[in-house]
Structure 1
Amino acid sequence: MVVVACIFVPTKKKKKKKKKKKKKKKKKFDSEAYFPSIRTGKQQLDGQMDYETAGLYTLDEALETVGFGRFQAFVLGYAGLGWFAEAMEIMILSFIGQAVKTEWQLSSTQESLLSTIVFAGMLIGAYTWGILSDNYGRRKGFLFISMVTFGAGFLSTFSPNYLSLVVLRGLVGFGLGGSSVFLSWFLEFVPASNRGMWMVVFSTFWTFGSIFEATLAWIVMPRLDWRWVLAFSSVPSFALLLLFSVAPESPRYLCMKGKTSDALQVLEKVASVNQTKLPPGVLISSSSRDKDEESAPSPSEETSPLLTSLSENTKQSISGFSSFFMLFSSKLIKTTMLLWVLFFGDSFSYYGIILLTSKLSSNQSGCFQSLHSTRNLHGADLYENAFITSMAELPGLFLSAILVDRVGRKQSMAFMFGLAFIFLLPLLTHQPSVLTTCLLFGARMNAMGTFTVASIYSPELYPTSVRTTGAGVASAIGRIGGMVCPLVAVGLVNSCHQTAAVALFLVAIVVSIVCIQFFPYDTKGRELSDTN
């Protein structure tokens, strides 16, 4: 009997241990205790992750759910203020040049340099600020942009001589080169379904900045002097600094850098301010979904996308100047080259039409008379002319708002470029004064429309990792077009070659229309890409 007891007692203990092990397995496999929103039993269908039943959602899905509300309205106001400030600083070039030339007895070349140096600064700044914001955040980007723009702009008021003014205006241009950062930041808060319309609304800040600057110069210049205009024009950039502390970081940038908890906090604030709720479940990046569709996880790795996908994105994040070379990768080089041609042609024609307005509108009695008529355009006449031509941009914005989300980005630009071509075509020869003004008004209206849609389209084409770099460099190429167009619009017309000048603008428009047709896809209604 003793022997029998010795045999059977250990056997019972072993069975107990087996039962305990089975219980432990069940507890370890129960992921619902840790992630209540995940329905484990339905997580895999046909070897793939089922995101709807798993309770996972992407950033784009979150933005669609919370919608466009009061939070985005604040983001729109802050980013729009950045564009408002840039428009004022660029429009000021039309007013201070002649006053500075008279006060310091400058040559025409020195006067022109005051405008050229601003565009040169913007050329360098567009590239620099794009890299900074792509690698260190949108907030840090527009913090330093506002500091440089306000500091240099305000100090320009106290310039003791011509050289100091040129240096300071060059620094202002360097700060203004970061305008694409504001646009990309706002873009990353807007739901994809109505992104085009809100980006057109965003562009109205540029137009209102131009109109406000013309009004400010009209009021201040005859009573005070150009220094006061410079001082007042730096106020919007100072307002950006005052409001910086309440401006949030882009949740899309945070996701791209692997900071999902920070991105979730921003989204929760967006939902709270908009009085809506986020989708139930766990926030993941769009790239996580793409990876899971390619290879399904095993049950033991069922929550790994939440923990590893964004860290993998972080490893792939672009740092330093390598972000520039990513624009020439096999997937992006075609888009990059096409955007450069588009922005050069758009800026060349847009700024050229602005300069043609002051030249051709008074050139009605022959070439030699036009050489003197523009010199007589001064005082109230100059400010009134600038005010009226700026108003032409409002119907252009309205037209682009109607077209951009209905027919798409590509066809909107092609259509408005075509209208600009039609309005400019009669100006190959001299026309009556009233007709010339109407034709230039129509050309500028459509040029502004194409410029607006191009500004929307360019950041949408690039992934988050290089978005501001890509849009910034394209904008920089556009600045080269702005630097070249005075040689055509002013130089050729003053040399009695109006036909040649207008013909060059028409060629630029035709090349831009052809270029648009070769873009790989339209971004109407598409989600923004987080990875290349």
Structure 2
Amino acid sequence: MVMEDIKLYLSYFRTGLLFSTLFTSGMGFLSAFSPNYPCLLALRFLVGVGVGGGHVFSSWFLEFVPAQNRGTWIVVFSFFWTIGTVLEASLAWVVISLLSWRWLLALTAVPCFLLIPFFGITPESPRYLCVQNRTSDAMLVLERIAITNQAALPPGVFTYHQEKKVDHTVLTSEKEDLLPVSEKECTFDNAMSSKYGSGIAALFRLLSRKLLRSTLLLWFSFFANSFAYYGLVLLTSQLSGANRSCTSGLTNAVQQKDANLYKDTFITSLAEFPGLILSAILVDWFGRKASMWFMLFTCCAFIGPLVLHQNELLTTVLLFSARAVAMGSFTVLCLYAPEVCTFIGR
């Protein structure tokens, strides 16, 4: 999240994404050459700072997607996160046993480096350009999209209205408490856009009296989802078979521990796929808030039995199920948050 504030200071959206990618890949690659454990911790901390900027990708992506298709496309978008998680678990399973952890860290940084050349053809968000009063640039992006898709833009003159009123009589219940009286209060005119273009000013905007309640609720939702998701990731290693009982023979114990840890991590990573499918089914049928409530409650139900000692099979099943619904809830939240923050400060 720290990186998000940094990128809001930058003039162009793509520049921020490029900086985040360079920073993350660079720190990740350097961590493979750490001379000691404190240095490794410091570099991995910086990698975490860079990964925090990854949330900008989802906001950028959703600004290209029509409102009626957002639920489906955010799930498709999240599938690639899950693919990366599964591939990383597979890579750790193979590389650490054959090579070393340094090779794992170096290879993990490779996809970010491969992403860098694609920023040259990455279009800027038309909505962002409009808010910056660059409608001609936004029009060029839209024309490029139309040509690529072999389609034509709708007839008429391209305009951007920042002061369009919001009719609360047609809002769904899950938006009524979070949207202000009018979109004018949640968007900027040209002068205010410049003022709130920086991360610090946008933060104060989020903490204003009219948005404070919504902001705190969203922050707590992200905290709860992150706490559950990454807690399950850590529980997988803690509750792997070799950590649950005493064994004789140091070498055999270590080998068994590594084998069980990588196996359980791989299996629970696969759980994210059914979680994404579940979120795709629920998000448009039952709404954003109802879907998140249901999946978080179900996650708690799966975690509860782990307080007591369970056999390895049941432990893996419970971790698998809990991670599935935790990932589903996180996906819906990543869709819900940009829809609530309808101004450039998102």
Is this a same-fold pair by TM over 0.5?
A: yes
Of 233, 254, 264, 2:108 maps to: 233
Matched, 1:319 2:194: no
Hey, what does 2:238 align to over in structure 1?
359
1:114-147 Cα offsets, whole Å, 9 max, x none, are xxxxxxxxxxxx1343352375232011111011
Q: Distance in 1 between matches of 2:33 and 2:87?
A: 23
Aligned pairs (5 A) from 1:22-101: none
The 1-side partners of 2:226 and 2:192 are apart by 34
Residue aligning to 2:336: 457
Q: Corresponding residue for 2:219?
A: 340
Aligned pairs (5 A) from 1:113-512? 126-133=1-8, 136-290=11-165, 313-317=189-193, 318-320=196-198, 321-360=200-239, 362=241, 377-467=256-346
How far apart are the structure 2 equivalents of 1:224 and 1:428?
A: 36
Give, in angstroms, the shift of residue 436 of structure 1. Answer: 2.6
Partner AA of 2:224 in structure 1:
G
2:158 counterpart letter in structure 1 = L
3-state secondary structure, aligned to 2:64: coil
3-state SS of the aligned residue for 1:464?
A: coil
What is the SS of the residue equivalent to 1:249? Answer: coil
Instruction: State which structure, 1 or 2, has the greater radius of gyration over its C-alpha atoms.
Output: 1
Do 2:3 and 2:20's aligned partners in 1 also have CA atoms closer than 8 Å?
A: no
Amino acid at match of 1:331: K
Partner SS state of residue 222, structure 1: helix
Alpha-carbon distance change, 433 to 151 in structure 1, aligned in 2, over 3 angstroms: closer
Please give the alpha-carbon distance, in whole angstroms, between the structure 2 residues aligned to 1:182 and 1:199.
11
Offset at residue 374 of structure 1 (A): 8.8
For the 8 Å contact 2:302–2:322, the answer to whether it is kept is yes
Q: Residue type matched to 1:247 in 2?
A: T
Pairs aligned (count)? 319
Q: Which residue of 2 aligns with 1:472?
A: none
Whole-angstrom CA distance in 1 between matches of 2:265 and 2:234: 10
Contact 1:146 1:237 in 2 (8 A): yes
In the superposition, relative to structure 1, how do residues 374 and 390 fare at CA in structure 2: closer, same or farther (>3 Å)?
Answer: farther
Cα distance change of structure 1 residues 405 and 131 upon mapping to structure 2, 3 Å threshold: farther
Contact residue 243 and residue 257 of structure 2 kept, 8 A: no
| Structure 1: unaligned runs, 5 residues or longer | 1-125, 292-311, 468-532
Q: What's the CA shift for 1:235?
A: 1.0
With the length of structure 1 as denominator, give the TM-score of the two structures. Answer: 0.56
Per the TM alignment, residue 277 of structure 1 is displaced from its structure 2 partner at its CA by 1.6
Question: Contact (CA 8 Å) 1:134, 1:466: kept in 2 or not?
Answer: no
Instruction: Name the aligned partner's letter for residue 273 of structure 1.
Output: T
Deviations 1:59-82 (A, max 9, x none): xxxxxxxxxxxxxxxxxxxxxxxx
**1:242-296 residue CA offsets vs partner (Å, 9 max, x unmatched):** 11111111111000010000001101111111122212111111325449xxxxx
Q: Percent identity?
A: 50
Q: Relative to structure 1, is the Cα distance of residues 459 and 147 closer, same or farther in structure 2, using a 3 angstrom cutoff?
A: same
Question: C-alpha deviations, 1:226-245, integer Å up to 9, x for none?
Answer: 11111111111111211111
Q: SS of the residue aligned with 1:402? A: helix
CA contact 2:264–2:316 (8 Å) conserved in 1: no
Q: Is the 8 A contact 2:3 2:50 kept in 1?
A: no
For residues 477-515 of structure 1, give each alpha carbon's deviation from its aligned partner in whole angstroms, at most 9, with x where no partner exists. xxxxxxxxxxxxxxxxxxxxxxxxxxxxxxxxxxxxxxx
For 1:33-77, what per-residue CA distance to the aligned partner results, in whole angstroms no more than 9, with x for missing partners?
xxxxxxxxxxxxxxxxxxxxxxxxxxxxxxxxxxxxxxxxxxxxx
In the alignment, structure 2 segments of 5+ residues that lack a partner are 167-187
Whole-angstrom CA distance in 2 between matches of 1:166 and 1:424: 29
Residues 77-127 of structure 1 deviation map (CA, whole Å, 9 limit, x = unaligned): xxxxxxxxxxxxxxxxxxxxxxxxxxxxxxxxxxxxxxxxxxxxxxxxx13
The letter for the 2-side match of 1:315 is A
Letter paired with 1:137: Y
CA spacing shift, 1:437–1:329, aligned 2, 3 Å: same
Taking a change above 3 Å as real, the CA distance of residues 222 and 429 of structure 1, as seen in their structure-2 partners, is closer
SS of corresponding position for 1:440 = helix
* Residues 27 and 44, structure 2, Cα contact 8 Å, conserved in 1: yes
Structure 2 vs 1, CA of residues 450 and 375 (structure 1 numbering), >3 Å: closer, same or farther?
Answer: farther
Letter in 1 for 2:53: G
Partner Cα separation in structure 1 for residue 317 and residue 102 of structure 2: 34
Q: Give the AA of the match of 2:77.
A: F
- Distance in structure 1 (CA, Å) of the matches to 2:253 and 2:279: 32
Q: Superposition RMSD on alpha carbons, in Å?
A: 2.4
The CA deviation at 1:399 is 0.3
1:203–1:452 Cα contact (<8 Å) kept: yes
What secondary structure, in the 3-state scheme, does the structure 1 residue paired with 2:237 have? helix
Secondary structure of the equivalent of 1:266? helix
